[in-house]
Amino acid sequence: MAAWGERLAGVRGVLLDISGVLYDSGEGGGKVIAGSVEAVARLKRSGLKVRFCTNESQKSRRHLVAELRHLGFDVSESEVTAPPPAACRILKERGLRPHLLVHDDAGESFSYQNMNKAFQVLMGLENPVLISLGMGRYYKVTSGLMLDVGGYTKALEYACGVQAEVVGKPSPEFFKSALREMGVEARQAVMIGDDIVGDVGGAQRCGMRALQVRTGKFRPSDEHHPEVKADGHVGNLAEAVDLLLQHADK
Amino acid sequence: MAAWGERLAGVRGVLLDISGVLYDSGEGGGKVIAGSVEAVARLKRSGLKVRFCTNESQKSRRHLVAELRHLGFDVSESEVTAPPPAACRILKERGLRPHLLVHDDAGESFSYQNMNKAFQVLMGLENPVLISLGMGRYYKVTSGLMLDVGGYTKALEYACGVQAEVVGKPSPEFFKSALREMGVEARQAVMIGDDIVGDVGGAQRCGMRALQVRTGKFRPSDEHHPEVKADGHVGNLAEAVDLLLQHADK
């Protein structure tokens, strides 16, 4: 593989995934991934553009940012791209009235009953529209790996014979809105995430570069994924920032 | 479309789906579909071979047969092909020790917690094996359409990156075992079901003919399904049996 200098040449903006990169969510607000608080601070001082790009849909941006600030991160609401505001825009633009299957009825409260209700609503529509807030396979909390929303979306797609519109990673539209908000072009941006498919594969399909951290939901088999090859693997965010400060354009 | 005489020529054996063809399951043991009790009796007196082929996996064959007999059907356990005994054979043959996600923990008791447990078990295995009892999209009870197991299997397949082995319709192996038990070849058999994909499409892929009844989970759009074209549509089982007694080989 090419040297880091070559792989990171021309980078002007950095998209950071949050869960599994900054911290592992879980009981009591979660746990910082060692070195990440300082890494974010150094990145923001460096002159590189920085934006947080998350599929978090169980908490509002306000709640998420409060949790991160409490852990010591320098982050504000206006720096975060997340699915719920994007989904609200779509609903308004098209004049759709949603049946909501979101927190507190989703997440760990997914049940046969609330899935079946969503299924019945979709089957009753002449032109069913299914909007999914992300398409994650699983995420990591302090106690282990947890099923994410993608599987539940697949269940409804299969049962109803519809295809979901994904608002969140790995939807290209979602990455593009984060790039627009950051004011950087895809070829000048690098995504740093722990999800080989949703973060790395999704960002690369948009023309960005992407590094996978070996924290969060990272698994050793990701380094030999049959379809996605990261532009590099790093131990954690701190190591990624070291490399960026050494090699990226500032 | 060809005349019924041509479409049913050479038929010597009939596979009957149960739910949505004989009866609609639901509260208090379900409700007979009008004319089906007599239709089964006439079919069995006709000299045609008859076998019941179901994806029912919430009840044992004994329980299912008791329920059907209570409703007036002439059926015995030895005439029923169902997923659970077939799955038991596979587990024994391969020496697999299963983590079970079946009734009472499945069906209407599917929850985030028991799905997540199955997900974690699969993610912890070096060579994960996921066996699914059927792949139904939905079924009909007296109160309406209900999500079936297929969606939940899709959820685990997506989250874990595995492909399930399906024991039940539309697996060709499952249809073939029903044909073997009936002693009739695929080209001499017709499947009668309410599921355009699982019953009709599955049977046709095995070389059988297949009729869809307009009862149970049948929906008008099934008659113009993009991938599956039934060999004929009939109002209900009674009408199918009228046609068979007129046109099939006896």
| CB atoms closer than 10 angstroms to residue A126 | 4
Query: Per-domain residue ranges for chain B?
Result: 4-81+183-247, 85-167
Angle at B9 between CA B5 and CA B13, to 5 degrees: 125
Q: Per CATH, the architecture of B85-167 is what? A: 3-Layer(aba) Sandwich (3.40)
Residue B81, beta-bridge partner list: B53
Determine how β-strand B31-32 pairs with β-strand B23-24.
antiparallel
CB contact under 8 A, B137 and A151: no
Nearest CA in chain A to B118: A147
CB contact under 8 A, A119 and B138: yes
A142 inside 8 A of chain B by CB? no
B250: pLDDT strictly greater than 70: no
Domain B4-81+183-247 maps to which CATH number in 2.30.22.10, 3.40.50.1000, 3.40.50.300, 3.40.50.150? 3.40.50.1000
| CB atoms closer than 10 angstroms to residue A94 | 8
Nearest CA in chain A to B126: A221
CB contact under 8 A, B155 and A147: yes
A residues 81-110 near B, CB within 8 Å? 107-110
pLDDT digits (tens, 9 = 90+) for A119-131: 999 999 999 999 9
Question: What pLDDT shows up at residue A105?
Answer: 84
Non-local (6+) Cβ contacts of B220 within 8 A are: none
Angle at A172 between CA A166 and CA A174, to 5 degrees: 65
Nearest CA in chain A to B109: A112
Token code pair at residue A168: 């969140």
What's the gap in Å between the CA of A150 and the closest CA on chain B? 7
Alpha-carbon gap, residue B146 to A120, rounded angstroms: 8
Residues A198 and A166 sit within 8 Å (Cβ to Cβ): no
A150 inside 8 A of chain B by CB? yes
pTM for the model: 0.87
- When the pLDDT of each residue in chain B is averaged and rounded to a whole number, the result is 94
One fold for A4-82+169-247 and A85-167: yes
Asked if the peptide bond before residue B104 counts as cis, ω within 30 degrees of 0, the response is: yes
B residues 209-248 near A, CB within 8 Å? none
pLDDT tier at B30, thresholds 50, 70, 90: confident
CB contact under 8 A, B154 and A150: no
pLDDT digits (tens, 9 = 90+) for B168-215: 999 999 999 999 999 999 999 999 999 999 999 999 999 999 999 999
CATH topology (fold) of A4-82+169-247:
Rossmann fold (3.40.50)
pLDDT digits (tens, 9 = 90+) for A137-147: 999 888 899 99
Nearest CA in chain B to A159: B137
CB contact under 8 A, B138 and A151: no
pLDDT digits (tens, 9 = 90+) for A23-39: 998 878 889 999 999 99
Question: What pLDDT shows up at residue A106?
Answer: 87
What's the gap in Å between the CA of A207 and the closest CA on chain B? 25
Residue type, B59: K
Question: What pLDDT shows up at residue A9?
Answer: 94
- When the pLDDT of each residue in chain A is averaged and rounded to a whole number, the result is 95
CB contact under 8 A, A158 and B147: no
Mean of the pLDDT values across residues B224-249? Answer: 95
